[in-house]
Each structure stands twice: as structure tokens, then as C-alpha cells.
Structure 1
């Protein structure tokens, strides 16, 4: 838990104007996730703080595993939606090996908060794009119920056993199909997300108050208990009481006015927001409101369990906060107090560069013939419907085989043209890429789908098929629009937040 004394300043990044001709039928939509550096920094920092504690607390986003549905063949073959198309992948250095399939460096997890404040994750991959900044995943891993985007959305490429080896990339803009956004139609259950440059965090650094005040990045203060002698030295060093050293009252005793001629000291007592507001209006009992307010950022469980005097609030960025208010009193020198020294810290971030530069990007394909071999990757974590749980969600897994030669439907999700793959991966693999023409040496291929749904086709309580939206001309249209979204650095060369 860190105490943020001041909010981060906000600034904006540019994005290409993405407009639809007035006479054209809508096929795509775009929504902002965190286009401004301050919010993007806050989102990424939320997951990196405390050595990635929030990353480890997250659970896979899913519906009830017992509600796994069956798929019904429509009898239709490859949809006729125009000419086939592809964009070539880019490659970088090799990634870890797993069995006889080499894992691509591009895959990872997306993390976000759902509307209930739960920490969630899905699978995803980096893909080739004009600005080397796009992530492909399932639409339901970006849009909740096909409507509002999730908060604190980030991508962690190469996620492996709780580690983020190439940093965290905060989402800036999301792109998906009009039908998913408007009708929650899973025939369009995919999304492309433009992300900011990634960053990693260095260990915290204690600095003088002057450097703390000038720092434009993340900063916080910790109140360290000291004894009366240390307190007196601190006061003498600064020529009086400062924000660096202060006395805290547990009970109000020996209150005097500022004009009292005897030995006296200034002390603070935490009060409720209501009492603080009264004192600010001159209604307090011989006190005055100080400028000492402290904001604590909490986890959701800490927020829910909090019973203190502080004022709880979920801020506009989705942070769970408690604001503490202190009133200032003049008391006799002999009044019992606890003494504290405030140590000021700054958080130094390091820019990881564009996503595509760090891990490369898979190609993208559309309008491809069905019945071709694909390799699907993801981080399965859900149990099977029968309760067996063979996957942990901590490490990536894969399936390989030919997709079905016909399309399938799932009425409860408005699905009419899903492609299918025989595979036993469970929930948590949602959003993972289906790579056509996967080159095991280069670790690249062409994203020809992303895992959308899981199916128990033979009714034995085990997932045996996964399905994906068929990537067609509409997919190409959404992808081409996402290609124009510009993002950039959110931290500078010294680790400061850019404006």
C-alpha cells in the first residue's frame, strides 16, 4: 500500500481520425481505454506495483464452466466474403521452448478489472501493425457484455509464472466489430487494441523533499516512527516543524492556542471528513484544518474491509482509495504524542519501446479456406465441466490441428459462422491466437482466429472443441482501422512521466 500525496498530471497522445462515411453501413467501432499518459501510467503501475502483486491475484475471466455449450453445424463451408488477404509477421529473438512446439514470444496475457472490481485476465498476442503497437484478443476480453470497455486494461507479453519479462503495455484504443459492440454478437468476438510503449519499474528511490516536489512521475511517502530525540533534531535541522517530521495525537489533551507563551508543539489528529470540513469552515474547536491529507491506494479486499476514519472512494481511473484527513492542534510540550518522519520516494520507470520492437508481431490473415492446420496458444485455467482442473493458467499451452471444414452456430451467443478446432484447452485461453502456417523455427504465423468459446460436444463433462469468429473481410476492415491508431512513450529517459 502506497500513499500518493498528489495526483499525476494528465496529458494526451494523438490518434488518427477514425471516421466512417455517412452513407456506409457500420462494421467497426473504436473506444478509448487510456489514451492519456497519466492514466496509462496509472493502469500499468497498478499491475506492476509491489512486484506484480495484482498480476498474481488476477483470475481468468470466464462464465460458469458448467454452462459450456454444444456447437451445431450450419452445413455451410468457407464463407464467401471476398479475396483472401494476409499481412506478414515480424520476428525477434527466440522464446522459451515447450514440448515439441516452440512458444512464440508474442503471446501473453491481458489484465483488466471487470465492473465488479475483480482482477481478471485473458490470453492475447502481439500482431504486425504500422506503428508496431497492436494486440489481438477476444472481444469479450475487452468489452464487457459487448458494451463498456474494461478498466485498467494492459497487455503483458511473455507472461510466465507471475513475471512480466518485457514490461507492461497499457491499452490506449480498442477496435472491434459493430455487431459485438451493439448486439453482443459473438460472430464478431475479436478485438484489436493499440497499446502505448511498455515500461518496467526500477526499485523505489528515497529522495529529498525538493526532488520529490519536482518529480513528474509516480511518487509516494511513508511515515516512519521516530522517537522524541529524533523529532527534536529534525525540527532543529529545519528551523521549525516541516512536512518531514510531525507529531500525531491519539487523544486530544493540553490544547493551547498559537499565542501560548509556554513550551508548545504542533500536532495532528486524524478525523473524519465531516469533522475536517467543519474545521475548514471555522466551526472546529480551536483548531484549524491543515493541508495534511493523505490518499492511500488500496487493493479491492483492503478497500472492502476498511473500517477507519478515512473517506473511501473509487476514483475516475478505477483506483480504490481512502483519503485520510488530519486537523492541526497546538498542544503543550508535555502532551503525549507519537512522532513520525516522512520519507519521500519516487518510482523510476524505464521505457520498453513499442510492443512490436520488443517481441515482434504475428501476421494477420482473413478469408482463408477452412480445414487448414492451425496452432492455437493460450493460458487455460478453468476446470472442465466435470470439475477436473488440469491447467493452472500460469504457463501457456497449445493445441494443433485442422479447423473444421464447415461453420457452426451457438444460438445463446448469436453465433452463426464460428470456425472450430478440436482442443481441450479451457477458459483462460480466451483471446489466444490461432496461427495459420505456424513456423516452429521462426515462431511466427498468421492470426486466423482467436479463441472465443469452449464446447463439450460429446457431453462427457470435458471441453473437446474451441471455436473462433471466422476472420473475414469485416475482420480486415477492423484491423485496417486499428492500424492507424498512433501511440508512443509514456515515460521519458529519466523515468519521468511525459506530458
Structure 2
């Protein structure tokens, strides 16, 4: 899906803004600087419309009839590469090569922390359903990735990898894009299906496939379930995503080395040695581990974050990195998404995964998705 030149180093797995108090002249200046940073970040966001109307939703839904999911195992886990190599930061917690590589101002750095808090479902649904799979098509081929629901003002936002929503080589967004929370091992959709309304991305992923921005926040329509009526499948509206499954919080500007995170996804692809320890049918977790900086200049990755001791393979692209994961309620805050996977020691087994650094610009992309409106009815 990405040009062959990018296959050299890695394989893909696939609320209000924070405002500083304005109580003094100094604080007012800081707030003005923060506003300028926010405005500059917002200017780099691109939104791409997909299914905008009820008729559009019906067209996508008809493509994903229940029998289609029976063949989900035959679809390809989306990946921008197939080779692995030792990342440049494998020796330790090195920072970006250049002082400005993190691309955040002093004000933005002080705004590190939670942008939006985790949210539990409203309707008494079981917790732990914020994570799932996205299915989509490029050309005439079906793909899938991992993804998660994120708490948002419109209660309708999904986070995933940029390469799970837009292919910069083709300059084309994915078609027939849907999110299925907590899918069953045989293609079941117990929490419904959510059709994408629009995709929000950073302009440098859209324009040149810069892996510093390999993330996407997707605004989805109200969900639906297929019900059998008079021998035919009929769409039944089940409400908004966050009301049904809850949403992860969102953390920004957290410096690698100062926090740990757990990574989640549905691994299915082969390891470099050809073995397949996972089948992609169930959610897996790389337990909470330390984070370090990671750079890979051939992929334009200047501010990646690496998570140690993780053997994820293709299929986990877009799966969430979670800070403060609550094992009992199965919820926490999003701090990254699976983007690239690494064989650090050359033993032909993946042993680390990396994410773009989630900073103020990431927050602007999320905010664009969180403020998009969708129709009140889809059926």
C-alpha cells in the first residue's frame, strides 16, 4: 500500500482543548501563545468525507452484509511494509536527532496530560468493548486493521493508524470503511457496525506518508445491527458508538521514558521467520512496558515512540496504546496507535512496536473529528 522504498525498515501492524489560566499578563501571554499553537496545528488537519448521508450509509452497509463477515479471515491485514530491521534508538532512550524534532512549543509541552477523560457506556453495556476491528477496501481488495473508540463531544470517534484509512501512494482514502467493536472470532458483530462519515488526518500523512503522522481519527455514523425480517436482513439503528461501548481518554505531549503503556490489537500476520503465533481472531495485549524515543529517517519518522517487548505482527495496525489501563473495567487513556513493528536484534522475530508521538497537532486532528456532525437517523 506504500511505495517499495518504504519497505526497507519496518512493517505495519496497522472535550475542550487544554487552556492555561489567564489570570495575569504573563498567563495571558502564555494563553495567547497556546492559542497560536492550536491554530497552527488546526491548519495542518485535513478531513475527507466518506459516507455523508443515510443513503451513503445504506450503500456501505449493504456491502457488509452478515455473509460478508463469514469470509473475514480471507481479508488482508493492512500494512505499509513487509521487512524488519533494527530501529535507530534500540540501544537506549535516545531523543530525536534535532532539537526541534518534537515540533512542539514550550507552551505545548507544559500542556502535557489528558485532553479528554475515558468514558463508560451509557446503556449498561459490558466494559472492554472500546476496541475492535476496522474493515475497508482499497480498489477491489478488502483489508482490516485494529482500532478503538475515543471519548468525544460527538460521541462518535474511532482512532486507528493513518495507513488504515488513507493510502498516500495512491492519494486515496479507503472505501466502505466500518468499525466493528469487540468482534467475535467467526465474524460476529455483537456491538453493531459503525460506518465512517469522515476521516481526519495530518496533511503530512496525506501528502507524503510521513510516519510521524501515521494516525487517523474517524467520525462514524450511528451504529446499526442486522436483523432478519421476512427472510431478509434489515438495518436496525442502535445509537451512537460511545453510548454503546464507551471511549478511551486521550493523552498528549507525554515524553517517552516518563510513562508506560499497554498495546492492544488483533495480530495475524507472519513473523519474519515465517511463523504465525496469532490468528487475528481475538484481542491481544502487550502488557504495560516502558516507552523510548524512536527515529527512522527513511520513513520520515523523527519523533516515534517505541514500546519494548512486544511481538505484534500485521493486523494490529491502529490498535491503541493505553495509559492507566484499568484491568477490571478495561478502559484507560489513548497515548498512541500501533504503526510500525521492529525486529531489533535480527533474530527474525518482532520484539517492539512503535507509534507516532501524540502531541498538540494530534489533538487538533482529534478535535476536527470530535466536532463533526452526522445525521440523527441512518435508517
Q: TM-score w.r.t. structure 1 length?
A: 0.61
Greater radius of gyration (CA): 1
User: Alignment partner for residue 76 of structure 1, among 95, 105, 115?
Assistant: 95
User: Alignment partner for residue 163 of structure 2, among 140, 145, 155?
Assistant: 140
Count of residue pairs the alignment pairs up: 323
The question of whether the paired residues in 2 share the 8 Å contact of 1:192 and 1:479 is answered with yes
> Shift of residue 104 of structure 1?
2.3
- Alpha-carbon deviations, 1:336-368, whole Å to 9, x = none? xxxxxxxxxx54221110000110000011011
1:110 aligns with 2:134: yes
> Shift of residue 137 of structure 1?
0.3
> Shift of residue 62 of structure 1?
2.0
Q: Which residue of 1 aligns with 2:364?
A: 477
Counterpart-to-counterpart distance in 1, 2:248 and 2:84: 29
User: Alignment partner for residue 274 of structure 2, among 361, 376, 387?
Assistant: 387
Q: Which residue of 1 aligns with 2:153?
A: 130
CA 94–442 in structure 1, closer or farther in 2 if over 3 Å, else same: farther
Counterpart-to-counterpart distance in 2, 1:55 and 1:45: 16
Q: Which residue of 2 aligns with 1:190?
A: 215
User: Alignment partner for residue 196 of structure 2, among 168, 171, 180?
Assistant: 171
> Shift of residue 36 of structure 1?
1.7
My pick for the range that moved more, 195-204 or 76-85, is 76-85
Q: Which residue of 2 aligns with 1:159?
A: 183
Q: Which residue of 1 aligns with 2:254?
A: 368
Q: Which residue of 1 aligns with 2:29?
A: none
> Shift of residue 489 of structure 1?
4.3
- Alpha-carbon deviations, 1:73-115, whole Å to 9, x = none? 29317945411131101113575xxxxxxx8210000000112
CA 377–24 in structure 1, closer or farther in 2 if over 3 Å, else same: closer
SS at match of 1:69: coil
The question of whether the paired residues in 2 share the 8 Å contact of 1:367 and 1:472 is answered with yes
The question of whether the paired residues in 2 share the 8 Å contact of 1:105 and 1:359 is answered with yes
Q: Name structure 2 gaps, 5 residues minimum.
A: 1-38
SS at match of 1:45: helix
CA 40–351 in structure 1, closer or farther in 2 if over 3 Å, else same: same
The question of whether the paired residues in 2 share the 8 Å contact of 1:33 and 1:174 is answered with yes
Q: Which residue of 2 aligns with 1:88?
A: 117
The question of whether the paired residues in 2 share the 8 Å contact of 1:375 and 1:434 is answered with yes
The question of whether the paired residues in 2 share the 8 Å contact of 1:137 and 1:431 is answered with yes
The question of whether the paired residues in 1 share the 8 Å contact of 2:87 and 2:342 is answered with yes
CA 56–168 in structure 1, closer or farther in 2 if over 3 Å, else same: farther
Counterpart-to-counterpart distance in 2, 1:189 and 1:114: 17
Q: Which residue of 2 aligns with 1:415?
A: 301
Q: Name structure 1 gaps, 5 residues minimum.
A: 1-22, 96-102, 207-345, 492-496
The question of whether the paired residues in 2 share the 8 Å contact of 1:69 and 1:454 is answered with no
> Shift of residue 434 of structure 1?
0.1
The question of whether the paired residues in 2 share the 8 Å contact of 1:69 and 1:410 is answered with no
CA 356–191 in structure 1, closer or farther in 2 if over 3 Å, else same: same
The question of whether the paired residues in 1 share the 8 Å contact of 2:125 and 2:245 is answered with no
The question of whether the paired residues in 1 share the 8 Å contact of 2:265 and 2:320 is answered with yes
> Shift of residue 487 of structure 1?
1.4
CA 469–165 in structure 1, closer or farther in 2 if over 3 Å, else same: same
Counterpart-to-counterpart distance in 1, 2:81 and 2:206: 22
The question of whether the paired residues in 1 share the 8 Å contact of 2:77 and 2:144 is answered with yes
Counterpart-to-counterpart distance in 1, 2:315 and 2:345: 22
Q: Which residue of 1 aligns with 2:7?
A: none
Matches for 1:270-309 after TM superposition, within 5 Å: none
Counterpart-to-counterpart distance in 1, 2:78 and 2:85: 17
User: Alignment partner for residue 51 of structure 2, among 30, 34, 37?
Assistant: 34
1:455 aligns with 2:342: yes
1:440 aligns with 2:332: no
Q: Which residue of 2 aligns with 1:201?
A: 226
Counterpart-to-counterpart distance in 2, 1:24 and 1:473: 10
Q: Which residue of 1 aligns with 2:284?
A: 397
> Shift of residue 63 of structure 1?
4.3
SS at match of 1:404: strand
The question of whether the paired residues in 2 share the 8 Å contact of 1:47 and 1:53 is answered with no
CA 155–347 in structure 1, closer or farther in 2 if over 3 Å, else same: same
Q: Which residue of 2 aligns with 1:295?
A: none
Counterpart-to-counterpart distance in 2, 1:357 and 1:134: 11
> Shift of residue 202 of structure 1?
1.2
The question of whether the paired residues in 2 share the 8 Å contact of 1:136 and 1:431 is answered with yes
SS at match of 2:364: helix
Counterpart-to-counterpart distance in 1, 2:228 and 2:125: 28
Counterpart-to-counterpart distance in 1, 2:73 and 2:280: 11
